[in-house]
Amino acid sequence: MILSNEIQQYCKSNGLRCTNKRLMLADFLQKEEGRAEAETLYMMFRKNSVRISQATIYQMLDWMVKQGFVERVPGNNRRNMYCVRSLDLVAK
């Protein structure tokens, strides 16, 4: 399953706005084999000339964690890794 499609369906069924940046973040995270640091995701946005702040990246990741799409795992150097959860486990 594709994470961005799952997020779109979730937003639509819950009456939430689904932004392009949120979907791009999901795609970037999935391209990183479902596991990346927030800094890496931020750099991917910048590399693609998308204007976004690191705070926005963290806010979107927190939202994805709260909704069950992503889990936060302690990584090296006190940095968290964000991992795509198995989409079969995501509560709808």
Please write the tens of the pLDDT for every residue from 27-70.
998 888 778 999 989 999 999 999 999 999 999 999 999 999 99
Domains of the chain in sequence order: 3-84 (1.10.10.10)
* Residue of 68 and 90 predicted with greater confidence: 68
Query: The pTM is what?
Result: 0.84
∠ CA 43-57-10, rounded to 5°: 125
3-state secondary structure of 65: helix
Tell me, what's the pLDDT at 66? 94
Where in the chain does DSSP place strands (E)? Answer: 35-37, 70-74, 80-84
Q: Which tokens go with 70?
A: 């992503």
∠ CA 25-56-51, rounded to 5°: 75
